[in-house]
Amino acid sequence: MAWKSKTRNLQVFDTELSADTVEWCPVSDNHDILVCGTYQLQKGVGEEDATPSRTGRLYLFEFQQAGLLSPPVTELQRIDTAAILDLKWCHVPVSGRAVLGMAVASGEIQLYTLSDSQEGGRRLHSLSSLEVGAERLALSLDWSTGRMDSSDVRVVCSDSLGCVSVLSLAEGSLTALSQWKAHDFEAWISAFSYWDTQLLYSGGDDCKLKGWDLRVGPSCPTFTSKRHSMGVCSIHSSPHREHILATGSYDEQVLLWDGRNMRQPLSETPTGGGVWRLKWHPTNQHLLLAACMHNDFHILHCQQATEGSGAACPVVASYILHNSLAYGADWSRLTLDQPAPCSPTPEPKEETPLAQSGGHLRIQYESPTASFDTSLEDDAGRYIPECIAAPPSATPTPAPQCNEGEPALTCLLASCSFYDHMLHVWRWDWAPQEPLPC
């Protein structure tokens, strides 16, 4: 039996500054909490070599199922900060409270706790910060608690000088445990193996994916893969299946790996846009959310690939309502009670084939740190990887078949886009091929 898939926008919020990261809180009793981080490059005025400043803002939201006519998302707080490159909640409470980590352009990892305020409602309060190094941007972070295990609370982060740092959190303070040069250029991403938190992964603008074992030290990586052909900017260890790892790159490919054999990926899936973030579903082991920069947001079904078929992961849903670079995306653990209202799903707009556009190419894309230009667009704004011809239409992969008795899914998600500074909250309904209840 096939599946029927439907996405529906619930609310749009203008973040004013360029939005690049969103995270739902995974800690019980706070699943309705959403944060969004922004990044704004302020170019220097006057001297040509004036150093630009990077500013940001952290938004705190609450989601409520108040009814079909009421906006479900309410802003609780905004905090002006240095530009934010990444946000991650610790997956478990620390001293009874949810803790949010931020990687910011000042080269710091900053921590905030979520608690009730005297005025009512919840607010974020500064807990601790640590500079990982001077004259660098902190680009990513990950917690060691991805399998909801609180016995070992550590943070790994990567930075614009290619370094990876491991920090510990004890008694409310961050302490640096180790730091090493991992990549030749920007280390875009770092992540724990959630099944063995002595193992780390990192990806950089040198096109390399590397593994590290903290028990033997960082003098030599456990592996170095050059399977991606451009910068590696997303890594996520599966919290459901041991050894399964997803990676994404500017080369527009999502690769799935078995960590016991990093010579060859389990599968390779083209996405049509650089893969900035990947997120496994919090409870369904087969679903992977991808933020694909110039090609919207997609949900991949990875069952056949992780079971060794070698096939690309089929796309079971796409969210196409953003109008700029697709950077931040995350799943909520909330359960939506109300069925989706009946309305037609927006159809993708037809585009003029590249050969008929007649426009010249121009440098248009820049990384979130505004540190380099790597890609091109035509006059219609379509993304074309540098030195790569427009690809032919991809051969569609078969849609996954639902297992007997497998339940329908209703998921709440959030996504954000860069230059149009927009946060979207949306739902996805996935059910066997019968009409959805209305």
Q: Which domains does the chain have, with CATH numbers?
A: 3-18+117-335+399-432 (2.130.10.10)
Nearest to 106 by CA among 87, 130, 88: 130
Q: pLDDT by residue for the chain (438 residues), tens digit each? A: 567 899 999 999 999 999 999 999 999 999 999 999 999 998 766 666 567 799 999 999 999 987 667 789 999 999 999 999 999 999 999 999 999 999 999 999 999 999 998 777 899 999 999 999 999 999 999 999 999 987 889 999 999 999 999 999 999 999 999 999 999 999 999 999 999 999 999 999 999 999 999 999 888 999 999 999 999 999 999 999 999 999 999 999 999 999 999 999 999 999 999 999 999 999 999 999 999 999 999 999 999 999 999 999 999 999 999 999 999 999 999 988 755 544 333 444 443 332 333 333 332 334 565 443 333 333 333 333 333 333 333 334 555 555 555 678 999 999 999 999 999 999 999 987 654 454
Measured distance CA(213)–CA(410) in Å, rounded: 38
Counting Cα atoms < 13 Å in the Cβ hemisphere of 305 gives 29
With contact defined as beta carbons under 8 Å apart, do 58 and 81 qualify? yes
Question: What letter represents residue 412's amino acid?
Answer: L
CA dihedral 391, 19, 143, 268 (to 10 degrees): -10
What is the model's pTM? 0.86
- Report the pLDDT value the prediction gives residue 233, as an integer from 0 to 100: 98
Contacts of 217 (CB under 8 A, 6+ apart): 178
- Report the pLDDT value the prediction gives residue 367, as an integer from 0 to 100: 58
